[in-house]
């Protein structure tokens, strides 16, 4: 039945599986530019809240969605793999932290016109969003990679 | 590879080395691009396609075309739920065989 690839002993087959998973675990989960670029997009969204103009904010939210989808497509196209967090362990927690931090910045951005007039707090909040989401995004990437390594080592199925 | 709570089940489809490697890669990621699979196997496109088709026909994998950089579509593969279960059962069976072989091995010359 098999015409390509020599047959393997059970031990060799298990080793081949471990090797395949280990090789995948060593590939970058995302390109290095992905987290900073995504953070800049989110920072721009938060900055748009300073206008306190519903039309501007809705347009910014739509543009953000499009930009995030384009970034995601470009990133997976670059790496050749798509690794999400929903089935994993440490990465799931890191993603929860990421989303919590994003929620905090969004709330701060929305409050900034109320707290300090039309614009002044928005810029620091937007800058904090870029820095915070970059750091949190990198942490999520490291957690994903750690989960993949654990899978390769047989600790997680 | 832990086989806890998985029923060992030998799978003829996954017994082929290339298909087992493809399934192992797909089980780690949510989706893997065709070129990554081909490069990992170090075989031609046609060989990779052939093995992916067997996995798809068995209901173990799913293919999709997703736009990439420059608007060029690429083929991505993912393991289905049935594929995940089949791989776990097959790996558990391989583990069982390895342990059975160890159990019947004669003791070494230094053994009492």
Q: Token pair of A96, please?
A: 């929860």
- State whether A14 and B43 contact (CB < 8 Å): no
Let me know if residue A92 belongs to a domain. Answer: yes
**Least confident piece of the model among A26-30, A53-57, A112-116, B58-62:** A112-116
Let me know if residue A157 belongs to a domain. Answer: no
CA–CA separation, A157 and B6 (whole Å) = 10
For residue A88, what pLDDT is reported?
A: 60
Nearest CA among B12, B87, B72, B16 for reference residue B48: B16
Let me know if residue A80 belongs to a domain. Answer: yes
Query: Which residue in the set A14, A25, A76 is minimally distant from B28, CB to CB?
Result: A25
- Give helix B81-104 / helix A10-26 axis angle, nearest 10°: 130
Q: Token pair of A77, please?
A: 């196209």
Domains of chain B: 17-103 (1.10.10.10)
- State whether A82 and B31 contact (CB < 8 Å): yes
Long-range contacts of B64-67 (CB under 8 A, 24+ apart): B64/B31, B66/A73, B66/A76, B67/A73
Let me know if residue A120 belongs to a domain. Answer: yes
- Give helix A122-152 / helix A90-116 axis angle, nearest 10°: 180
Nearest CA among A51, A36, A60, A49 for reference residue A106: A49
Let me know if residue A13 belongs to a domain. Answer: no
B95 and A CB contact within 8 Å: yes
Count residue pairs from A and B with Cβ separation < 8 A: 104
Task: Establish how many alpha carbons lie within 13 A of residue B41's alpha carbon, considering only the half-sphere containing its beta carbon.
Answer: 29
**Using an 8 Å Cβ cutoff, are A48 and A57 in contact?**
yes
For residue B1, what pLDDT is reported?
A: 44
Its domain, for residue A44, covers 29-152
What digits encode the pLDDT tens for the residues A88-112?
677 788 788 888 888 888 888 887 7
Let me know if residue A22 belongs to a domain. Answer: no
Rounded to the nearest integer, the mean pLDDT of chain B is: 88
Instruction: Give the global pTM.
Output: 0.79
Instruction: List residues of chain A with CB under 8 Å from any CB of chain B.
Output: 1-2, 4-8, 10-11, 13-14, 16-18, 20-21, 23-25, 27, 73-74, 76-78, 80-84, 148, 151-152, 154, 157
Let me know if residue A146 belongs to a domain. Answer: yes
Let me know if residue A9 belongs to a domain. Answer: no
Query: Which residue in the set B6, B16, B35 is minimally distant from A5, CB to CB?
Result: B16
Number of domains in chain A: 1
């Amino acid at each position: 039945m098999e015409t390509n690839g020599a047959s393997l002993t059970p031990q060799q087959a298990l080793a081949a599986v471990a090797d395949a998973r280990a090789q995948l675990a060593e590939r970058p989960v995302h390109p290095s530019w992905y987290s900073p670029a995504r953070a800049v997009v989110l920072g721009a969204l938060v900055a748009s809240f300073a206008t306190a103009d519903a039309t501007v904010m809705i347009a910014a939210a739509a543009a953000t969605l499009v930009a995030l989808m384009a970034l995601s497509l470009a990133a997976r196209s670059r790496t050749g793999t798509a690794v999400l967090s929903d089935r994993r362990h440490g990465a799931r927690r890191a993603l929860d932290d990421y989303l919590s931090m994003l929620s905090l910045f969004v709330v701060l951005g929305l409050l900034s016109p109320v707290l300090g007039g039309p614009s002044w707090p928005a810029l620091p909040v937007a800058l904090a969003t870029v820095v915070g989401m970059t750091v949190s995004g990198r942490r999520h990437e490291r957690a994903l990679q750690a989960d993949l390594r654990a899978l390769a080592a047989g600790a997680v199925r | 590879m832990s086989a806890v709570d998985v029923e060992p089940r030998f799978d003829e489809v996954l017994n082929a080395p290339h298909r087992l490697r493809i399934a192992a890669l797909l089980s780690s990621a949510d989706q893997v691009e065709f070129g990554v699979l081909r490069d990992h196997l170090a075989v031609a496109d046609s060989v990779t396609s052939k093995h992916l088709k067997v996995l798809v026909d068995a209901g173990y994998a799913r293919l999709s075309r997703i736009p990439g950089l420059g608007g060029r579509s690429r083929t991505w593969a993912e393991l289905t739920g049935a594929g995940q279960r089949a791989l776990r059962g097959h790996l558990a069976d391989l583990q069982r065989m390895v342990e059975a072989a160890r159990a019947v091995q004669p003791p070494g010359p230094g053994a009492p």
